[in-house]
Structure 1
Amino acid sequence: MSGGAIKKGSSGPAGVIQWIGSACKFAADRNDFRRNLLVNLGLFAAGVWVARNLSDFDLMSPQAVA
């Protein structure tokens, strides 16, 4: 994604379509090291987030009854 290809004033449906097109082109490039790095870091961060949030639950503790 080059900075010159994206217009600063683009908004509305044309801007969204342009963003989706550039995202699809970015995802479809099989030999892009940066894409693989970003995807792997994103998946790792999502896994860490899930693991940290699931560790807050203690399923063996008695539940408070109101």
Structure 2
Amino acid sequence: MSDTKAYDTPLSVEVVDEEVVLRSPDGPVGVSLTAAAATETARRLIEAADLATRQASQVSSVRD
């Protein structure tokens, strides 16, 4: 695992003035995206989360 401070809680997702806005309840993260950019970002997030989950399960099975 890398030496990062990854968020362990999901970001809030809102629509403000026709933009999708992501915010962190715990820190200074804020992102505003158009609908098209939000759709593509969501697809990429799902792919990356699936990959991270697979990698974590491989590491876990090696430790067992």
TM category, shorter:
0.3 to 0.5
- TM-score if structure 1 supplies the norm length? 0.41
Q: Radius of gyration: which is bigger?
A: 1
Structure 2 length normalisation: TM-score?
0.42
Q: Which has the higher helix share?
A: 1
